[in-house]
Each structure stands twice: as C-alpha cells, then as structure tokens.
Amino acid sequence: MNPMLVDVMRGDHLESQHAGAVYVVDDRGTELLSIGDVNALLFPRSAIKIMQALPLVESGAAKKYDLNNRQLALVCSSHNGEPAHTQTAESILRAATLSASLLECGAHMPYHKASEYQLVRSNQAPCALHNNCSGKHSGMLAFAAHQGFELFNYIDLQHPVQQTIADVISDLTEFDIQSAPCAKDGCSVPTWAAPLKSWAQALAKISRGKGLGESRKNAFASLQQAVMAEPFYVAGTDRYCTNSMAKLSTPLFIKTGAEGVFCATLPEHGIGITLKCSDGSTRGAEMMLSATLKKLGLLKDNDQAVLDQMLNITLKNCNDFAVAQIKPASFWGF
Amino acid sequence: MNPMLVDVMRGDHLESQHAGAVYVVDDRGTELLSIGDVNALLFPRSAIKIMQALPLVESGAAKKYDLNNRQLALVCSSHNGEPAHTQTAESILRAATLSASLLECGAHMPYHKASEYQLVRSNQAPCALHNNCSGKHSGMLAFAAHQGFELFNYIDLQHPVQQTIADVISDLTEFDIQSAPCAKDGCSVPTWAAPLKSWAQALAKISRGKGLGESRKNAFASLQQAVMAEPFYVAGTDRYCTNSMAKLSTPLFIKTGAEGVFCATLPEHGIGITLKCSDGSTRGAEMMLSATLKKLGLLKDNDQAVLDQMLNITLKNCNDFAVAQIKPASFWGF
C-alpha cells in the first residue's frame, strides 16, 4: 500500500489523507526519489500528451503547417475550453485544411466556469472544440492528414495514428506496450498501462533528449519549450499546470492526467518525474508534485516563496472563512 | 492505515482505490462490522444533520410551526438547490415568520446543473436559499425564534442554538464534545470530531430510540420517518441518498456528509452505520455504504436487484463508451 503523502486538515485536526507513489529519475538512470509501489502498472492518461504529440512534430507535419508555440502547447494540453483554447484548436485544424467535424473526442462543457456560463447564456451546446482534449485530437488529425492516413476513426487502437503513438511509447518506456493493459481514455483514444517508474524514465529521456535520435530529441525539445513558453495553453485560468509553470522561474515541464497523475521534467537537470495519487484525486496529486519539487531541492532560490505557497493551500467556505488546509503529510519530513 | 475498500477499474485494470473505515453496531451494543481505524476522531460534517435538527422537533417548534415531512427532511438535508428545495426552505422560514435574509450559511450555486443553468440564463446570482445547507439553517433559525434566542450569529459556537446541539451530540455519542476538536463546516456552523464508532453508536440509539427519553425517541422517529418518506428533500435528483432510499424497499435512513462520510440507520433492526472514505471522495464513500449494506445481508429479498446495481457503477465517457467501473474491492469477499 502506498504511504500517506498529503494531509487535509479541518481546523487543527486531520480530516482526510491522500496516499500516493512517486518516482524521480535522471537521464543517467540515477534514482532520485522512489516512494510507494513504483512498479505498479499506471494508466498515465493525459499526463503523457507530449508523447502523443511527438509524431506530429517528428514527422515534419508541425513544420509544414507552421504551428506556433501556442498551437503546440495546446496539442499537449488538457485545456479549460476558454475561447483562446477553442480558437487555437480550430486554428490547428485550419492550418491542415481540416474541419472540426472530424474531431472524435466528443463534447463536454468547458472546465472554465465563465466559459461554461457564456455558452449557457447564449443557449449553445458545447462542441468537440470545448473538449479538454481537442488540442490533442486536432494534432492527431493534422498528423494523419500529413501522412495521408484515413481520417475517419483515428481514435481506434488499430489506426496508424494510435499505432505510431504506441511505438513511440514502447521505445521511450522500454516496456512492451502492445501486451500492456489497454483501455479507452475519456476522449476515446487508447491509454496503455506501464510501470510508474517506466514513465518517469521515459520523461527523463525526453527532458534533454539523452539517448534519443536527433529528430526525436529536437521534437521533444520543441514541445517542452512550447508548453513552458505558453503555459496558459496547456491548461488555463486557475489551473495547477499553468500557474506553477508561469510562477516558477526554474524551467519545468508539468502535465497532469485524470485520476491523479502528474508527469514532469526538469530539462536543465535531465530529470523525469511521474506520480500517482492512489485515490485519483487532483488535490492530492497537485500537493504531491509540489512536495516532490521541494524534496528535490532543485528549484532556483527566487522560487522558494512561490513553492511555499504551493505547499500550503487554504480552503475557504462560501462565507470566506478559512476552514481547511491541504499540506504535505509528515512522511516528507518538512 | 485503513484497508482498500473500493476499486476503480479502467478497462480490466485497477486504476484507483479508496481506503476507508466502517463501523456498524446495534442498539444492544453488538458490533456487526468494524473495518479500519474506527477509534479515529471523525468530523461527521453534514452526515449528522438529523442530530442538528433534533432541537427543532424536541422543543415543540416543529409542531408549533406545523412543519410537514418535506420540511423536516429538508432540515436534515444537503440539498441540490432545485426549486422544490429552495421553496421548501423558504416555507420553513415563513412558517416561523422569518426572512431569508437571516440565513448565515452563505450562497453557492445549486449542485443541480439544470437549476444552476436556470440561474445563469436569468442572470441571477445564487442566494443563501440555494446553499445545500439552507434547510438546516432555516431549522436552526426556527428553533432560535421559538426559544426566543437572539437570531443574529446563530452559527457561532457560543450561541445557544449550537450549544444545544453540542449537548445533544454529547449525550448521544457519550463523548465529551466540549473538549473535542471543533472546526467550522462549509456552511460556517461548528463541526465536532468524535470517534467514528461513537457516531455509529449514536445512530444505533437514534434508529429506534432505545435508551432515549420519550420526547427524544419520538423526535428522532419523526425525523427519520420524514426523510424516508420524502427522500427527494434530503438530497435531490441523481443523488445517492435520495436514489437509494427511494429505490430500496427496506426502511433505511441514509445521509452523506462532506469529505466522504455516511451515517445511516436500519430502524427495524436498531442498527447504526458510520463510515468514512479516508481520502474524502464521494464515489468511494457511496460504494462503501452499498458494500456495507450487502455485507450486513439485512435488505429485503426484493431489494437485491437494486443493490446489485448500486454495487457496480459503470462510468461512460463523453462519447458514451463504458470506460470505467467502480466496485467493492476484494477485501469484502463478494
């Protein structure tokens, strides 16, 4: 069983706890942190969108369609469905002369409340562009168009888009993805389960391209740079991924996935991070990543104040009283 | 550490897990189920609204104001903010010739999406009546008015409304609430932490009034009857408390609280149940209560099909594919 890593306090008393597993490794293979069952098979969900985005860049499609940092960040994103996000998804499709009607991710209301309410007020249903995965799907379609693949059913496991991604993931994780548990993600594309530590090892390779071929190294550098340069486009207003990358001056690539997953890299240090909050909660996973960053001690000195804020989250009730607090559990020894 | 009680599967593979503690006891003191750390101090949050409602009925205020089952159920509720809920809260205040402006619970959007969107479309902000605790607060105000207490600041720990409730809880739990950890709930009233098993023992007493004085026995019988007769008013559309009481023919009183708490009684059996999902998640707590009901084996034969449905929750993605499943963990031995 994974250890308790996050405490949720009400007043001065422990109310809830989150257990988790964390693995941090560098691209020389040095294990920097190993907590809990890091050999457990983990569905990384949206936390590896950078791996799913790789074929778009490596194939030359992103260059051909002249995609900019915002567009590339959106391909790696789980976005809020804010107007800037939906417009950017549309612009990716337009660059490849594709229509939004080709998107197979399904529709859901924007995560962003004001954007949700804007749709409600104008009596509009959400469309596939509002789906938090529409950037990824637009990138998959652009890649398919560039390769001359059939566009229909690009979400299917056997479609060459998904098989190309499976090969990328197998190469990076050194885990046989073809025989791994495979399930459907929220946006209907395949998600494969590999050992938690294998995902972190893959991210360490991605971080500065060590051991990768030149084109793959450059493609991952472009994608990380795009996300770090335009963090609003990888998530959005009031989101952990966006805020942490925007506020911390240390170069960091951070991406969350459903059910309490985070993948991250510290490109200057060649480090990959993967973690899972056992119960799947977002608040638990976010605090685990903040605690991991503190434990590693690699952030720049001028980032300490921001990190301290990230390590002590106060929750207010609807009368604006501070009623609860989320913080690292005693396990961390802070 | 509490054992893993709920599995969340993606495809055929375990994705997330919920740990928890459960205590079930009858009013002769016989322990029927004890899982995890049942001596841990637990904030029951909204799961004990029936105890917070007791003074309203026991004092004669409910009778004086001629409150019906729907109104009494709402006093015990964490409701969805649907029109029937807000109107019923208003009707409680009107019966005691009080104004909604006296409510000190604060405002939040209705939990019920269609009601939330109705407010957005009509450009209205939510008011205190939409707060999921407005029934409880209306009941507290009606009790205060009946007793001739000051109405202002009835949410304060030292106010006689809250002190009366503290006495009720101390009597029922046989735990010294005055020296227990005390914190502010989401709606700003005090919440006290007592051992998980003490809450279950209190609920066993409530179930058919064993060991309670005549007026308290009758008051709890009225409140349980009201909730069981009008389960829509204790929660609302698509909510676990409402659906389980409405669909199961076995008399059951079920009430959830924030951070993964459930309190329940089986009045015909003199049984009290309290459980806590360690990580605070609702999906985990709901499945733990369904599993507890199966484990006890006390539901009527014609409830088995409904219970089986409650024990196997399929989650669909926005393309309507079945992608995940919530079910009891192997711990239960089903």
- Which pLDDT tens digit goes with each residue over A66-78? 999 999 999 999 9
Beta bridge partners of A314: A325
- Nearest partner of A196 among B82, B215, B15, judged by Cα: B15
**CA distance linking residue A61 with residue A142, whole number of Å:** 7
Element (DSSP H or E) covering residue A9 = strand A4-10
Q: What distance in Å separates residue B280's CA from the closest CA in chain A?
A: 6
Residues of chain B positioned with their CB less than 8 A from the CB of A11: 181-184
Q: How far is CA A122 from CA A100, B119, B124, in A?
A: 20, 13, 15
Q: What distance in Å separates residue B10's CA from the closest CA in chain A?
A: 6
Q: Which of B13, B37, B137, B330 to mutate to test the interface with A (most CBs of A within 10 A)?
A: B13
B137 CA to centre of own chain:
15
For A182-260, where are the E strands, in sequence order?
Answer: 182-184, 190-192, 194-195, 253-257
Q: Name the residue type at position B291.
A: A
Question: Are the CB atoms for B96 and B142 separated by under 8 Å?
Answer: yes
The three-state secondary structure class of B313 is strand
Q: What distance in Å separates residue A143's CA from the closest CA in chain B?
A: 22
Q: Which of A10, A131, A319 sits opposite B318 (nearest CB)?
A: A131
Q: Which of B6, B9, B14, B16 to mutate to test the interface with A (most CBs of A within 10 A)?
A: B16
The three-state secondary structure class of A280 is coil
| Cβ pair B259:A8 closer than 8 A | yes
pLDDT tens, chain B, 334 aa long? 899 999 999 999 999 999 999 999 999 999 999 999 999 999 999 999 999 999 999 999 999 999 999 999 999 999 999 999 999 999 999 999 999 999 999 999 999 999 999 999 999 999 999 999 999 999 999 999 999 999 999 999 999 999 999 999 999 999 999 899 999 999 999 999 999 999 999 999 999 999 999 999 999 999 999 999 999 999 999 999 999 999 999 999 999 999 999 999 999 999 999 999 999 999 999 999 999 999 999 999 999 999 999 999 999 999 999 999 999 999 999 9
Q: Checking DSSP bridges between strand B4-10 and strand B322-328, what pairing results, if any?
A: antiparallel
Q: What distance in Å separates residue A63's CA from the closest CA in chain B?
A: 31
| Cβ pair B181:A12 closer than 8 A | yes
Long-range contacts formed by B112-118: CB under 8 A, 24+ apart: B112/B80, B112/B81, B112/B82, B112/B236, B112/B237, B114/B82, B115/B80, B115/B81, B115/B82, B115/B83, B116/B81, B117/A120
pLDDT tens, chain A, 334 aa long? 899 999 999 999 999 999 999 999 999 999 999 999 999 999 999 999 999 999 999 999 999 999 999 999 999 999 999 999 999 999 999 999 999 999 999 999 999 999 999 999 999 999 999 999 999 999 999 999 999 999 999 999 999 999 999 999 999 999 999 899 999 999 999 999 999 999 999 999 999 999 999 999 999 999 999 999 999 999 999 999 999 999 999 999 999 999 999 999 999 999 999 999 999 999 999 999 999 999 999 999 999 999 999 999 999 999 999 999 999 999 999 9
Element (DSSP H or E) covering residue A290 = helix A282-296
- Which residue is closest to B283 within chain A, CA to CA? A279
Those residues with Cβ within 8 angstroms of residue B207's Cβ, 6 or more apart along the chain or in another chain: B27, B224, B253, B265, B266, B267, B269, B270, B271, B272
Q: What distance in Å separates residue A41's CA from the closest CA in chain B?
A: 9
Q: Which of B41, B185, B279 sits opposite A279 (nearest CB)?
A: B279
Q: Which of B12, B193, B318 sits opposite A107 (nearest CB)?
A: B318
Residues of chain A positioned with their CB less than 8 A from the CB of B323: 183-186
CA atoms within 13 A on the CB side of A227: 35
pLDDT of residue B294: 98
Neighbours of B329 (CB within 10 A): 21
- Which residue is closest to B122 within chain A, CA to CA? A121
Residues of chain A positioned with their CB less than 8 A from the CB of B184: 10-11, 317, 321, 323
Q: What distance in Å separates residue B323's CA from the closest CA in chain A?
A: 6
| Cβ pair A182:B117 closer than 8 A | no
pLDDT of residue B273: 98
Confirm whether the ipTM is greater than 0.85. yes
Q: Which of A5, A115, A118, A279 to mutate to test the interface with B (most CBs of B within 10 A)?
A: A279
- Nearest partner of A141 among A57, A56, A59, judged by Cα: A56
pLDDT of residue B20: 98
Q: Which of A16, A106, A324 sits opposite B318 (nearest CB)?
A: A106
Residues of chain B positioned with their CB less than 8 A from the CB of A1: 1, 4, 19
Neighbours of A63 (CB within 10 A): 13
Residues of chain A positioned with their CB less than 8 A from the CB of B120: 117, 120-121
Element (DSSP H or E) covering residue B150 = none
Q: Name the residue type at position B177.
A: I
- Which residue is closest to A182 within chain B, CA to CA? B11
| Cβ pair B318:A105 closer than 8 A | yes
pLDDT of residue A249: 98
pLDDT of residue A158: 98
